[in-house]
Amino acid sequence: MNKWFNKNNIIFGAIIVVMAVLLFQGVHQIYHQDEYTWVGLVDHSDKIGWDVHPPVALSLLKVTGYLFGYGNLRVLPAFFAILNLILLYFVSKKLSANKSVALLAGFLFAFNVYSLIAGLQIDIDGAILPFFVLASYNAYLRISDNKRLWFPIFILSLIGGFLTKLSFILFVGALIVDYYLAHKHENHFQLKKIASLSGLALVLFGFVALAFNFFSPDKFSHVLTYAGGFKSFDFRSRAYLDLGFKILKSFVWLSPLLFLPVFYALAKPDLRHRYRFWLIYLLFNFTFYTVLFDFSKLTIERYFMFTIAPAAIIAAEVLYPFFTNLKNKKSYLSVATISIILTGIATLVLSFKYQILPLDPKIAYFHYLKSFNLRFLIPFTGGSGPIGFYFSAMFIFWFWALMFLAFVGYLFWRKKQNLLLTIIVVAGLIYNTLFIIEFLRGSFYGSVPNIARQTVDYVNTDPDIKLNQVITYYNIAPWDLKVSGKYASRFYTAPTRDYSATLTNSRGYYMIVDFPAISKDSLYWHLLQRCPIIKQFDDKDIHSYVFDCHRLPASKK
């Protein structure tokens, strides 16, 4: 038994507990946006919705709903996030041949806001698909150790991946390319090995497709129609501004602590060789989502969750020298001094008064950025849930700038590498800590999930608000409103959608959790202000309102 209680396992167990505790704090967050479609498919309240993916995710969600209740479906991605942490540890240990590096990779994965969001989102890309990627790659790495054990696991993991999402083919493609690059210089290497691996992937894919079509032909046809609906190479129609904003938001979530080491690894031949598969995998996915198909108008933040596990694995190797240099009082004093200074700066920056800018139209952001005025908050919402939070643009800019400059210095200024690496690690940990706190607690600018929960609970328990009378802004809490029967419809302020007729003609109630904030000069807000506010909730910069418009005179047509 003592072998299970060594220092390494105790630390790894503590990392698992840390991630589990963090996930538990968000597991009851309200369903948002596309998440409610999944819930509707699971509890059969969505009569017309289609799951446009292979059956694994929906089947697992149905089991979760049956065991834990339909209000607790976040238990499933949280569970898979823990499994991903465990797999990531073993993958990192195999690649680096260093348990300490693997522990650091696990910690970087667990202590990251993007990873927590992925582990709480009711969807495929955040936790379920990465599980099959990590499981397949872990088995692939170990086949030579014990082929009878790991080859069947590898095949089963591939089947599970194909039955989860069609884009799993990107992993298989990256694996084939990596296999070719790893073996092309061998004396006895033959192209037929690559052909065999590619043929195996095609056979598995064909087998899964045939089985899917046999058991559910209608759904299989719908999946193909959905997959073919994305425009390829129609570059003129793409919303590049929105795409760029969403990609930047994804990288902000990922954090400079995980983002910058990937580029550092590209500059180092030994790291580039060791983590070649993950670099290829990142390249394939990035090309797929930004070039080959038009995802510019979709919630690309959830698709970019493919970056989290590879970045954590690579960053652990890059950042590990910092921990090996913690050998004496001088090094610990340096860490403490830098921590105090950067924490003080972060606290000061976050305490400033910031402007809340409307997400639509985005022209206000350009005016602020043009004058280099960073006194505004950025609404961080993945579109598909969880619901989101605000964070300081000034904090983000300065901490990214600091860590970027430190990384550049680390590459070229050998005499100060220890100091610069200390700045990178300490600043990165402070950055991640503050983002996690705001996502889970709303300690600085207010908790959107808490305000949303208070608001929808009020609406659902108010006897004066009748069935099918509530229109919700940004489609916040649609499932909760549908369960109570009070949901009527939704509206957005995006310029690509015009809901002015809906707000003009509706004679019910509006549930406005004002996140992202509605422009107070917009037509939508003026239409809402025709009606009295019967309830308001506030938490720092987060506000919500319930407007009673059912007494307005009938609109003239």
Give residue 252's identity as a one-letter amino acid code.
V
pLDDT greater than 70 at residue 249: yes
Q: Is the peptide bond before 321 cis (omega within 30 degrees of 0)?
A: no
Q: What is the 3-state secondary structure (H, E, C) of 492-515?
A: CCCCCCCCHHHHHHCCCEEEEECC
Q: What is the 3-state secondary structure (H, E, C) of 131-179?
A: HHHHHHHHHHHHCCCCHHHHHHHHHHHHHHHHCCCHHHHHHHHHHHHHH
Residue pair 42/69 in contact (Cβ under 8 Å)? The answer is no
Give the pLDDT confidence of 406-448 residue by residue, as tens digits: 999 998 887 888 899 999 999 999 999 999 999 999 999 999 9
Confidence band (pLDDT; 50, 70, 90) for 515? Answer: very high
pLDDT greater than 90 at residue 114: yes
Percent of the chain's residues with pLDDT above 90? 59
- Pairing assessment for the beta strands 389-392 and 470-473 based on DSSP bridges: unpaired
DSSP state letter for 553: P
Query: What whole-number distance in Å separates Cα of residue 289 and Cα of residue 459?
Result: 39
What's the pLDDT at 215? 56
pLDDT greater than 70 at residue 15: yes
pLDDT greater than 60 at residue 209: yes
Q: What is the mean pLDDT of residues 239-259?
A: 84
Per the structure block, which two tokens stand in for 198? 């590619």
Give the pLDDT confidence of 351-394 residue by residue, as tens digits: 999 999 887 777 777 788 888 889 999 999 866 778 899 999 99
Give the pLDDT confidence of 317-350 residue by residue, as tens digits: 999 998 888 777 788 898 999 999 999 999 999 9
Q: What is the mean pLDDT of residues 115-133?
A: 95
What is the pTM for the complete model shown?
A: 0.91
pLDDT greater than 80 at residue 237: no
Give the pLDDT confidence of 528-542 residue by residue, as tens digits: 999 999 999 999 999
Contacts of the segment 375-380: beta carbons below 8 A, 24+ positions apart:
377/445, 377/541, 378/249, 378/252, 379/515, 379/516, 379/517, 380/249, 380/252, 380/253, 380/439
pLDDT greater than 70 at residue 91: yes
For the chain, give every domain's residue range.
Answer: 2-320, 330-441, 448-548
Confidence band (pLDDT; 50, 70, 90) for 186? Answer: low
Q: Is the peptide bond before 361 cis (omega within 30 degrees of 0)?
A: yes
Query: What whole-number distance in Å separates Cα of residue 252 and Cα of residue 249?
Result: 5
Give the pLDDT confidence of 48-85 residue by residue, as tens digits: 555 667 789 999 999 999 999 999 999 999 999 999 99
∠ CA 378-35-547, rounded to 5°: 65
Q: How many CB atoms lie within 10 A of CB 177?
A: 17
Residue pair 540/505 in contact (Cβ under 8 Å)? The answer is no
pLDDT greater than 60 at residue 146: yes
What's the pLDDT at 454? 96
Q: What is the mean pLDDT of residues 23-42?
A: 89
DSSP state letter for 29: P
